Amino acid sequence: DKAWAAGVGALSLNHNAVAIYITPADRVGSRALVEVEPEAHDYFVIDNRVTTVRANGRRKLRPRTVSEGERTRIVVEGRIPLQADSMVMSRRVGDPAFYYGQTVRMLLRQRGIRVSGRVKRGAIPQTAVLIQSYDSPELAEIIHDMNKASSNFIAEMVVKTLGAELKGTPGSWPKGLEVAEDLLAELGIPRGTYVLKNGSGLNDTNRFTARQIATLLQAVWKRFPVASEFVSSLGIAARDGTMRLRMEGTDAAGRLRAKTGTLERVTALSGYVQSLGGERYVFSVLVNDWAGKSAPVISSIDRLGGMLAALGAPEAGAREAALAAVVVPQDAQPAELKARIATYAALAAAGDKKNLPFLRSALRSERDPLLRIVLADAVYRSDPDQGGGALLEAMPPSSELFLRLRSVGRELSLPVPAVSSLLDLAVDGSTEALARLFALAPLARGAQRDEQLAAMLADGLVEVGDASPDEMFAALRVAPAHQAQAAIELVAAGVEQTGTDVARYPLAQALHKEISQESAPDAQLESWLATIERRPAPPPEAVAHSAAPAATPGAVPAAPPPPGPAGAAGHQARRALLPADQSRGPRHPGDGCQAGIGGLHCPVSRLPRGRLRSTPSIVGSLC
């Protein structure tokens, strides 16, 4: 029900999405205020399940829309801290036509125009009289908005409109896609060599090769005046659109224009770049089915963009090549390390979005793992909506790096690093964040425990158990036994400190439910529940204990070993500089897109200017 997956229709409004505003109540425990825009009360049914929590509590909001025939039910669950700013979130509507009709009805009533009867579907009567017509913006402006914001809604609407304009009304996907296929055939990409099922590429039904996309981009470049309008619609690296946070600090910033594409385990980038040497290139990169996280893949594509932009400038090229190389993490000198940690921690405390370009650039260039944790924390705190992935990537689910960073932080009188941000993510249901918090839990228990860390975890994990009990229970089940037990003890301490009613505490309720459904007694679950409820636990022999030793606070383990050889993930990359006017037929679908675990196919073509040249393809590892 996300807004980017909204439906389309001839009658559409606000991209067929509704804005949902959530504002805390005046008292802890009261229902928050949930409002929608537009206020089409005859269309929306609001189911408000949001509770106002203490002012220093953590936020978790889960809005969803459910289609109910001619109406849409909006269900909002979660918690919002007292005195927090209002939050606005968008979700798609169930029936665009009725959404439009009921909103028009509401607006007419607000202006004193009486409306009788009800909104219903029907054919336009032949006696209907045209009252008002509306001319849309120019097509170039529509495409500009579509590409800059990567709007799936606009893309699908354009496809249907093309079908109506060129193949006859009513507009439909088959008609619109036929128009697109006619153009592709005209540009040298014949039918049958690709799969085209929709206009946005929102699902994985479309199938094109990188070479076919590069061929299309070359053809568009040669078409004046279409080229200028199309190229200006693409996001500019490190400047605007979906490219605004990409390639910062590289030679591609301000020089590369491209369209992004993202699905689960799929990332794409295609467009144009003007190099420092004065040449213009067209490129297309498609990567899919990689193993592991997406951050290294996207980072590799960004470095490739920087290398393309550096072509023709020896010094810049050497710099980008150095950035692209695999660098073994090395510790900075102690004094320098402390100074940089202090600087990045101050930026984290500021939480200012204006610092994001610098922070993201530094995160790409820093190799010391301690600095990367502090930087990733600063990125998250500057942009909580998009920075969580960087933090989870930088901080592994173990305590070694945290202990080293905590030791330096104590010398600098800095607060506990990263934990507050991880708790935010955990409250929102991130099991990856919970795994990292559980790894730290043993440090907060025992005779040599970290008191400041213990207080933060006890207070925060109680909130996680309240806001995301199912996710927390699942994470406890797979955590090492000594970590899970330490986490449960912290939860119990937090329950006692905050005066939480255990009988109504969601995590305790989840444990009760699971125990009641077990066919045989589960000693571990019984022990966890007894710990939270502060009652005697089952006999020790009934509880499995882990032999894993608890970490010692303050210990500084050896530096991590260097990473394995590049290319261990099995990625293959192809990179070729191709003459812009070289006539080559498109390869078969899938060429270069399924290489080992993940594939990357990147044809790069030089656009017309001066003498053309070609270099051999290079096969190697980029990811």
Banded pLDDT at 386 (limits 50, 70, 90): confident
Residue 541 or 151, more confident: 151
CB 34 within 8 A of CB 18: no
If you write DSSP's letter for every residue of 319-386 in order, what string do you get?
Answer: HHHHHHS-----PPPHHHHHHHHHHHHHHHHHT-GGGHHHHHHHHHH---HHHHHHHHHHHHHH-TTT
Q: Return the percentage of the chain with pLDDT > 70, whole number.
A: 83
- Segment 564-584 mean pLDDT: 35
Residue 587 or 179, more confident: 179
**Rg, Å, the chain Cα set:** 28
- Segment 135-159 mean pLDDT: 96
CB 553 within 8 A of CB 443: yes
The β-bridge relationship of strands 266-274 and 599-606 is unpaired
pLDDT tens digits, residue range 69-126?
889 999 999 999 999 999 999 999 999 999 999 999 999 999 999 998 889 998 889 9
pLDDT at site 332: 57
pLDDT surpassing 70 at residue 347: yes
Q: In this predicted structure, which of 23-37, 132-146, 192-206, 313-327 has the lowest mean pLDDT?
A: 313-327
Q: Please state, in angstroms and rounded to a whole number, the distance separating the CA atoms of residues 26 and 87.
A: 16
Residue 498 or 519, more confident: 498
What are the tokens at 293?
Answer: 């996280």
pLDDT at site 521: 80
Whole-model pTM: value is 0.75
Q: Is 508 helix (H, G, I), strand (E, B) or coil?
A: helix
pLDDT surpassing 80 at residue 583: no
CB 574 within 8 A of CB 239: no
Residue carrying the six token digits 């301690």: 370
- Segment 487-494 mean pLDDT: 96
Q: Please state, in angstroms and rounded to a whole number, the distance separating the CA atoms of residues 368 and 320.
A: 19
Q: State the angle between helix axes of 523-533 and 506-517 in degrees (0 to 180), rounded to the nearest 10.
A: 150
pLDDT surpassing 50 at residue 596: no
pLDDT tens digits, residue range 544-558?
444 344 444 444 444
3-state secondary structure 43-63: CEEEEEEEEEECCCCCCEEEE
Residue carrying the six token digits 């491209």: 258
Banded pLDDT at 534 (limits 50, 70, 90): confident
